[in-house]
Structure 1
């Protein structure tokens, strides 16, 4: 048996925890085929953090069993706890366990945003990301990334890295079957929302470019259509950003048509997503194609209007339409088209078939990285 551990401590944002949830589902889908067992390693400090509530919200939707172990710190008892529980490999560590860590581990880098949008980071943050990424690349035997674009960045910024140890997880949206039974009207009533709306499901970070979505809404001829925004409202890098967006809404005279819901329970978000005309994803930068919101929208068969940045163009499926990033007029044209001619949505059976195929492909891609890593460690031990 191969025991595979996941470590939520290293994923300090909601989208990161969703990524980890999807990895767990992918691994479970091939557990019998490859004799895998999932282990969740929880840091005691993480249990007392606000993110633990988000973690439990996401993972309580998963019905399969997994072992849970607890540890105090990476530098003290983590290795002991993993070895006591016969963990074979730790997967997707968004950090550095070190070259001499006794349990095989696979690293993860989300993106190189600081290289392209360094103005959104402090000088210290840029140096911190740079040194952290370099350290984990130096110490890990294999690394997971979420897109070909990230692997290409790795090869550009670190041309001496052996590309064979970089594993790309393809765009494979994972559906929770229970989502298919959720009625959109439930959350619409709960939050007292209109029936006709588009939705943006992003944290309010500057690079998510909510302003383009707002300008597009203002350009629509149908003034009865609204826009819902879910996600944490603060960007720690710009404390004034939320107020700047609200000022823009006032200037565009659409304040009453835009609803800031903040971070809401996952099932409420899925409910509202299913009731939307489409997901609007205006993001200017992502480490994975489309970001987590696009994963969810495609999983439940909701149309997506997506910015045409390079990483997003790795998606090639029906009902995902691209607009020029930052071009509110182009986005408004696509929104108008959807209002006039709504897309037909996949039937339940088609969504379930898509889910099954995606889970298997994701599990297979993850196992490939696990086998490579275990083989490398075995060769080192033999040497």
Structure 2
């Protein structure tokens, strides 16, 4: 099987980058006879750099824009319809519905965008993947009309054999260099408010043992609540709390792994996770874990895990006292590696089974970006008219779709062919607007590809393009393009 893994780059969500890379590692873990051919698909220059840095995880690197010519059996993941590939089977991915459970973590526009994009994925994808049973139940509740078959596909943590072979001497040297004590538990989270570090600090104020110690890694910053870091620092300044904490900030990944290997266990106090990476890493390394009692953590439940109420500092304090009085048993490195190897192979086989189903179900006439966009525009127009969706949400979808079609001028030319089809009774003005707005942001070379695209046999698409192909139409596009560039320059200056 030929698999395309779509790499994207979002500095605010490195978990998404690691998610894709971990699936590449998982697929590599399969026996040689089962292992697919993996192409790393780079959607942006930043993603291209990530692909090159991790070229050993795939058999090839290619631009995401070229999927139609690569002969792929499956492309994954699409987190919105604007990320769907041309000419290849694909699956959507809904990590979680945090935007529904904790809307305060998002701007109003971002929360609406996620709700809309996930709803459209659940409706139009050949197959839709969710990371947990909780996300599956949320999808059924939020999108009861969802038509795409859903599969729960938790992702594993995958470590190289080198990690399991790290020596006590190396781990001790890292611990000494970073100022960690001889015995500690570890928290590996960014200091975002919902990660719930304050509960841990309040618990440390109540512990009865002097030797309870927590090492915390992660950037002490949450731009959404600038005062949150000040509250953390204020608690750390209390001698009763500060003596139990080593605060490291952001550290190198190798150092983080060394510290995890040297810990008596992992503490994860978060109030919400789609599927906790650090919990999966605790499972992979054979570490005991103290987890907030939250449905996804219960679902993950690695061996030797205990739970506490995320609002109950006293219970967590008692758990920590008990841990340090009698540290829980942990697996040897060899046993942890063997157990995790079997788990990762099972996850990879599950991935390939979903890929095979997506390939069977994929129908270009239904699931390719052109019909998906056409159908979604139709549905959104009806939703706006009925008051179910705000006009701004429709505009958000169109903006994403324009970004996709700007990379595929020939496909944009063919989009006009859906005007007037019985299955797509689209409003021609909206389709024309979509095409014009896409063309305005294209380079002159890409715009020419739109006009040169072969539309023989598609009279409607040809007619839709004809009005734009006149000298007056092309002059108008040139003028609109210049105006758009000037507007972008002004916006950029205002942001400085």
Query: Same fold judged by TM-score > 0.5?
Result: yes
Out of 305, 313, 323, the residue aligned to residue 290 of structure 2 is 305
Alpha-carbon distance change, 327 to 27 in structure 1, aligned in 2, over 3 angstroms: same
Confirm whether residue 36 of structure 1 aligns to residue 36 of structure 2: yes
Structure 2 counterpart of 1:116: 101
Equivalent-residue separation in structure 2 for 1:266 and 1:348 (angstroms): 19
Equivalent-residue separation in structure 2 for 1:10 and 1:341 (angstroms): 42
Equivalent-residue separation in structure 1 for 2:12 and 2:88 (angstroms): 23
Confirm whether residue 360 of structure 1 aligns to residue 345 of structure 2: yes
Q: Residues 72-91 of structure 1: matches in 2 within 5 Å? A: 78-79=64-65, 81-91=66-76
Does 39-48 or 207-216 show the bigger shift?
39-48
Out of 249, 254, 260, the residue aligned to residue 267 of structure 1 is 254
Q: Residues 175-324 of structure 1: matches in 2 within 5 Å? A: 175-182=159-166, 183-251=170-238, 253-288=240-275, 291-324=276-309
| Matched position secondary structure for 1:136 | helix
Confirm whether residue 338 of structure 1 aligns to residue 331 of structure 2: no
Does 200-209 or 241-250 show the bigger shift?
241-250
Equivalent-residue separation in structure 1 for 2:52 and 2:285 (angstroms): 22
Alpha-carbon distance change, 17 to 47 in structure 1, aligned in 2, over 3 angstroms: closer
Alpha-carbon distance change, 56 to 199 in structure 1, aligned in 2, over 3 angstroms: farther
Confirm whether residue 152 of structure 1 aligns to residue 137 of structure 2: yes
Q: Which runs of 5+ in 1 are unaligned?
A: 72-77
Structure of higher RCO (CA pairs closer than 8 Å, 6+ residues apart): 1
Alpha-carbon distance change, 82 to 31 in structure 1, aligned in 2, over 3 angstroms: farther
1:85-113: CA deviations, max 9, x gaps? 33332112233236783222211112111
Q: How well do the aligned residues superpose, as a CA RMSD in angstroms?
A: 2.6
Structure 2 counterpart of 1:68: 61
| Matched position secondary structure for 2:298 | helix
How far does residue 156 in structure 1 lie from its aligned partner after superposition?
0.6
Query: Would you say the 8 A contact 2:80–2:121 is kept in 1?
Result: yes
Query: Would you say the 8 A contact 1:209–1:326 is kept in 2?
Result: no
Equivalent-residue separation in structure 1 for 2:155 and 2:323 (angstroms): 24
Alpha-carbon distance change, 347 to 194 in structure 1, aligned in 2, over 3 angstroms: closer
| Matched position secondary structure for 1:204 | coil
Equivalent-residue separation in structure 1 for 2:27 and 2:288 (angstroms): 28
Structure 2 counterpart of 1:75: none
Structure 2 counterpart of 1:17: 17
- Higher Rg: 2
TM-score normalised according to structure 1 size? 0.86
Structure in which a larger fraction of residues adopt helix: 2
Equivalent-residue separation in structure 2 for 1:260 and 1:102 (angstroms): 49
Equivalent-residue separation in structure 2 for 1:281 and 1:191 (angstroms): 21
Equivalent-residue separation in structure 2 for 1:131 and 1:317 (angstroms): 33
Q: Which runs of 5+ in 2 are unaligned?
A: 367-496
Equivalent-residue separation in structure 1 for 2:83 and 2:171 (angstroms): 46
Structure 1 counterpart of 2:45: 45
Query: Would you say the 8 A contact 1:10–1:94 is kept in 2?
Result: no
Structure 2 counterpart of 1:3: 3
Equivalent-residue separation in structure 1 for 2:153 and 2:219 (angstroms): 26
Q: Residues 127-138 of structure 1: matches in 2 within 5 Å? A: 127-138=112-123
Query: Would you say the 8 A contact 1:3–1:86 is kept in 2?
Result: no
Structure in which a larger fraction of residues adopt strand: 1
| Matched position secondary structure for 1:229 | strand
1:246-305: CA deviations, max 9, x gaps? 1122346423542332222222111111111221100101111xx111111121111100
Alpha-carbon distance change, 133 to 39 in structure 1, aligned in 2, over 3 angstroms: same
Does 361-370 or 230-239 show the bigger shift?
230-239
How far does residue 227 in structure 1 lie from its aligned partner after superposition?
1.7
Does 213-222 or 135-144 show the bigger shift?
135-144
How far does residue 171 in structure 1 lie from its aligned partner after superposition?
6.3
Query: Would you say the 8 A contact 2:6–2:40 is kept in 1?
Result: yes
How far does residue 41 in structure 1 lie from its aligned partner after superposition?
1.6
| Matched position secondary structure for 1:350 | helix
Alpha-carbon distance change, 184 to 68 in structure 1, aligned in 2, over 3 angstroms: same
